[in-house]
Amino acid sequence: MPGATHDHLDPHAAPSGAGPLDPEPARISRKRIDSVDLLRGIVMVIMMLDHTRDFVHSGALLFDPLDLSKTTTSLFLTRWITHYCAPVFVFLAGTGAYLQLARGKSKRELSRFLITRGVWLIILEVTVVRAAAFFNLDPRFLLFLQVIWVIGFSMIVLAALIHLPLRVVAAFGLLMIAVHNYFDRFPATPWRGPGTPVPSWGAKLWMLFHQPGIFPIGPKFPSPLVFVLYPLIPWIGVMAVGYAFGALYKRESASRKRWLLIIGGAATMLFVLIRAIDKYGEPQHWSHQKNFVFTILSFINTTKYPPSLDYLLMTIGPAIIALHFFEPGRNAIASATQSIGTSSRNFFVTFGRVPLFFYVLQWVTSHTIAVVLHATFHKPVHWLFQTPIDWFTNPPHGNGFSLVIVYLSWIGGVLLLYPLCKWFAGVKARRKDWWLSYL
């Protein structure tokens, strides 16, 4: 695979003394940036661990793995590490949009692409992804809105934002991330099931934008249900900040690495400070637990739905630091990578180059592995073909396996998908068909 980011810079890029956000992007090479693909690939693979746990683990539907009164350290961390996936995925989608602009697309062309791809992703979420995730097309469960819908809608918003100065885009995104927790104090009344009032249209809109929830799409029940797992705010802001962040990749490598460390370190330290004060930025307060380890787990147990300010600082900050170490050059991670060889790096880069392709296939793979395991060991299988509503209202007992089996299933699934992703990454590298940019 080609070298990393310093090989992609245009000789007319901004000088190293300039600020990280300049008004117009310098031209960069059309080659992909390996460090970005590496980070994306790592979080995509980790994401499959979470979905494999959902289908394979014995306690997946019986209790929250982050519930400190019921969980174990290993189970908590298995779930917690996957917190990095969605923020990095959305953030880097914004970065990728900026890189398209820097590689020569006009803002008009980029806007058109973001709108059409955004619409395509929303359609994909409620059709192909829904079917792949649940092996169920029950029309009573109409929409399950997860990360792909958020990325699609955020791209449509970003199509308008890119026409503003880059600093304004960054300020818009940062402001949304910083202040959205203030509105937690104005919750909509959730729908509590058959026989209870259906939320108003205003409440449904509020759930789409800020508060997770389930509601009938019509004014009365029964009517098809919508499950909003990923409200749009603050994910729109995350993508906007990711877009502004892309400006760093027009810079000379040493300057960029310095800024990556400064930005990532500042976000991480800000998380520690705000979380320690525990007055704003996270609905769940941390507390002293039965031992030191569980107290640390309480401290890092932040809210994902919707992502709190603390959650985003905790995940995006270290991810940006990782980009610093993934850059080529003399650093500890690079040296370690060279001593091991490039195969492990290229393994994750491959997944990072075909994220949507991998995302859809990992749902099918993890779900199929669960069906095969349950059928082989004569455990209940029917629940693996039900909707999430059925899971939550009547969770199956006697399902699932130990955490060791979860990890073995995850590793096996990733290895099964690698040849397919390597093939498709090769197709995308060799061919320039317009439709490939939508996959």
Q: What is the pLDDT of residue 5?
A: 36
Contact status, residue 128 vs residue 360, Cβ threshold 8 Å: yes
Which of 2, 16, 8, 431 lies closest to 259, judged by CA? Answer: 16
Dump pLDDT digits (tens) for 257-300: 999 999 999 999 999 999 999 999 999 999 999 999 999 999 99
Q: What is the pLDDT of residue 432?
A: 84
Name the β-bridge partners of 260: none
Tokens 């007992």 belong to 397
Contact status, residue 114 vs residue 240, Cβ threshold 8 Å: no
Residues of the chain with pLDDT under 50: 1-19, 23, 337-341
Q: DSSP letter at 431? A: -
Cα separation, 381 vs 400, in Å, equals 10
Q: How many CB atoms lie within 10 A of CB 273?
A: 11
Contact status, residue 231 vs residue 306, Cβ threshold 8 Å: yes
| Whole-number Cα distances in Å, 75 to 66, 119, 198, 285 | 8, 36, 36, 21
Cα separation, 166 vs 173, in Å, equals 11
Name the β-bridge partners of 1: none
Q: What is the pLDDT of residue 195?
A: 87
| Whole-number Cα distances in Å, 240 to 64, 160, 165, 211, 370 | 31, 11, 12, 20, 37
> Which structure tokens are listed for 69?
């009164």
The continuous run of DSSP H or E covering 144 comes out as strand 141-145
Dump pLDDT digits (tens) for 201-240: 999 999 999 999 999 999 888 899 999 999 999 999 999 9
Contact status, residue 32 vs residue 353, Cβ threshold 8 Å: yes
Cα separation, 385 vs 259, in Å, equals 48
Give every CB contact of residue 179 below 8 A, 6+ residues apart in sequence.
none
Kindly state the percentage of the chain with pLDDT values over 70. 90
Q: What is the pLDDT of residue 325?
A: 93
